[in-house]
Chains A and B, each alone.
Chain A
Amino acid sequence: MTLTGIVELIFRWLHIPQAWVQPAVMLIAAVIVLFFVLFVVLYLIYGLRKIMGWIQARIGPNRVGPEGLAQTIADAVKLLAKEDIMPAMADKWPFVIAPIIVFVPAYMAYLVIPFGKGNGWIAQDLSIGVLYLAAVMCIPIIGIITAGWASNNKWSLLGAYRAAAQIVSYEVPLVLAMMPPVMLAGTLSLQGIVHAQDSTWLHVFPRWFIATQVVGFAVYMAAALAESNLIPFDIMEAESELVAGFNTEYSGMKFALFFLAEFAGMFTISAIAVTLFLGGWLPIHPALSFIPPVAWFLGKVGVLIFVLMWIRATLPRVRVDQLMSFGWKVLIPIALLNIAWTGFVVLLS
């Protein structure tokens, strides 16, 4: 029974006009996705703290709840209960709106992520899914600049300037790296891209796009790290130079929204990488298809998120000029060459 069916049944029972069913279903789906995002973010933070702790020969959070599993819930409650401080000289409305502008696109990206087979596991299989993702991933920068400007603080403004330079530069290689899978699949729909990877070589090796796109995958991951300002590309929040960058003046609920957006973005970039390069919800071999597709998808995303955390625990922060020259002089030429190579692959097949 689908969600629409259940809502229809309840509305008929309550004598509510059928015209309200569609909006109600949308609202319920949005709330489900929102709770999924919150759950994912809470346990990503927990996982990050545990993994970083282990790498540093520490134990990590282990006091609140069994094995510290309730630690991040307690942190979130504390954050929500905190006083919401606004600097006296801050520009009021932009200051309030900025965290929302940053969080909403991070949440919107979940709309097109295919969690499993069929339409039940994707909120809306847009026929321009990849384009939609590229567009949505550009929006947070507006919120970041707004936050930096509205705080009326030199560190915030410097962080926002850096963010503007960084995100605008890395947008280009990111989108260029997302193109090859689209070329190979011949569609912009994310479910279509997953289906295009559904075959094997010699009945053994999975025919995922990473097979010909190792370079594309690497460029995508580097650009995505920079795009969602994770270490080693977090110069906009460089705490040793800029206090905390654009969110220096934020506290309580508004800070929580920035934090939420960062970790939601971490899940999103991993999910996109899995969909475009690692076969989405497809099993490694057709013989393993008894495991549900959603488990395959979340498993692959989990592995990729572990890699992101591993990178975070290993690499130091790059310098501003290194960051810019890496984006323009290394990633973009490689991404362009990769597109040419993909054209060659498409031509041969």
Chain B
Amino acid sequence: MSMSVLAKPISYVREGFYTIYSIAKGHIVTFVNLFRKKVTLQYPEVRWELPEGYRGFPALPVDPETGQDACIGCGACARACPTQLITVEAHMGEDKKRIVDSFVMNAGLCMFCGLCAEVCPVGALVMSDNYELAAFSREDLIFDRRKLNELGGVRERKPEPEEPVPAGEEAG
């Protein structure tokens, strides 16, 4: 009988102590955080270190030897683009090679999915690490081939992939 009378006051007191305990615990957490390393980047002065495989705006890097990009005007990127922001115009040259007349991308529509760079058969189109694309007009967001070359910079030479030599040729 006496236990049931005391049950309620005891639970109140217990609850009160638990409240004080949890408030103190919360304050310890915030106090520890007071001395934590700050995560803010002072953006224009300090920049984020881009992780490998970062997808910025697609660009056409230039080969340092020929001074040109490797685009062959096949139009695979234009077909792959979900928002159809790439237009490639090319005509057949005398030596049965395509000559690229124009290569235009509208950065205002790009969603940075990287499908264009993925389908490019010669690896001419790559995802650059440029994410600062703000412009004052929509026209400034339309990138032609020259601008894309500038954006892509100099192509770094990749080591030639070692192709296994077919067995028959070796024997002959």
Residues of A within 8 A of B (CB): 51, 54-59, 310-311, 313-315, 330
- Find residues 1-40 in chain B having any chain A CB closer than 8 Å to their own CB: 16, 23, 26-27, 29-31, 33-40
Distance, CA A212 to CA B37, complexed state (A):
40
Query: Given known contacts A311-B27, A314-B26, A315-B26, is B34 in contact with A58 (CB within 8 Å)?
Result: no
Residue of B16, B35, B38 near A59 (CB, 8 A) is B38
Q: Does the CB pair A54–B23 fall under 8 Å?
A: no
Map CB proximity to A onto B23-67 as digits: 1 under 8 Å, 0 otherwise: 100110111011111111010000000000000000000000000
Query: Given known contacts A55-B30, A310-B30, A310-B31, is B36 in contact with A315 (CB within 8 Å)?
Result: no
9 A-B pairs (CB sep. < 8 Å): A56-B33, A57-B33, A58-B40, A59-B38, A59-B40, A310-B30, A311-B27, A313-B30, A314-B23
Q: Does the CB pair B27–A310 fall under 8 Å?
A: yes
Q: Does the CB pair B26–A55 fall under 8 Å?
A: no
- Chain B residues contacting A311 (CB-CB under 8 Å) are 27
- Chain B residues contacting A54 (CB-CB under 8 Å) are 33-35, 38
Distance, CA A68 to CA B36, complexed state (A):
20
Q: How far is the CB of A187 from chain B (nearest CB, A)?
A: 33
Q: Does the CB pair B38–A58 fall under 8 Å?
A: yes
Residue of B30, B40, B42 near A314 (CB, 8 A) is B30
Nearest opposing residue in chain A for B20, CB measure? A218
B16, B26, B34, B37 — which one has the most chain A CB atoms within 10 A of its CB? B34
Q: Does the CB pair A51–B34 fall under 8 Å?
A: yes
Q: Does the CB pair A315–B34 fall under 8 Å?
A: no
Q: 4 smallest A-B Cβ distances: which pairs?
A: A314-B30, A59-B40, A57-B39, A314-B26
Q: How far is the CB of A233 from chain B (nearest CB, A)?
A: 13
Q: Does the CB pair A55–B40 fall under 8 Å?
A: no
Q: How far is the CB of B34 from chain A (nearest CB, A)?
A: 5
- Chain B residues contacting A57 (CB-CB under 8 Å) are 33, 36-40
Q: How far is the CB of B44 from chain A (nearest CB, A)?
A: 12
- Chain B residues contacting A59 (CB-CB under 8 Å) are 38, 40, 42
Distance, CA A59 to CA B42, complexed state (A):
9
- Chain B residues contacting A330 (CB-CB under 8 Å) are 16
Nearest opposing residue in chain A for B37, CB measure? A57
Given contacts A54-B34, A54-B35, A55-B30, 4 further A-B contacts (CB under 8 A): A51-B34, A56-B33, A57-B36, A59-B40
- Chain A residues contacting B31 (CB-CB under 8 Å) are 310
Q: Does the CB pair B36–A314 fall under 8 Å?
A: no
Q: Does the CB pair A55–B27 fall under 8 Å?
A: no
Q: How far is the CB of A206 from chain B (nearest CB, A)?
A: 24
- Chain B residues contacting A315 (CB-CB under 8 Å) are 23, 26
Nearest opposing residue in chain B for A326, CB measure? B19
Q: How far is the CB of A328 from chain B (nearest CB, A)?
A: 14
Q: How far is the CB of A211 from chain B (nearest CB, A)?
A: 20
- Chain B residues contacting A314 (CB-CB under 8 Å) are 23, 26-27, 29-30
Distance, CA A56 to CA B29, complexed state (A):
11
Distance, CA A56 to CA B31, complexed state (A):
10
- Chain B residues contacting A310 (CB-CB under 8 Å) are 27, 30-31
Q: Does the CB pair B34–A55 fall under 8 Å?
A: yes
Q: How far is the CB of A317 from chain B (nearest CB, A)?
A: 14
Q: Does the CB pair B39–A58 fall under 8 Å?
A: yes
Distance, CA A330 to CA B16, complexed state (A):
9
- Chain A residues contacting B23 (CB-CB under 8 Å) are 314-315
Q: How far is the CB of B42 from chain A (nearest CB, A)?
A: 8
Distance, CA A310 to CA B39, complexed state (A):
20
- Chain B residues contacting A51 (CB-CB under 8 Å) are 34
Distance, CA A143 to CA B36, complexed state (A):
41
Distance, CA A51 to CA B27, complexed state (A):
13
Q: How far is the CB of A337 from chain B (nearest CB, A)?
A: 13
Nearest opposing residue in chain A for B30, CB measure? A314
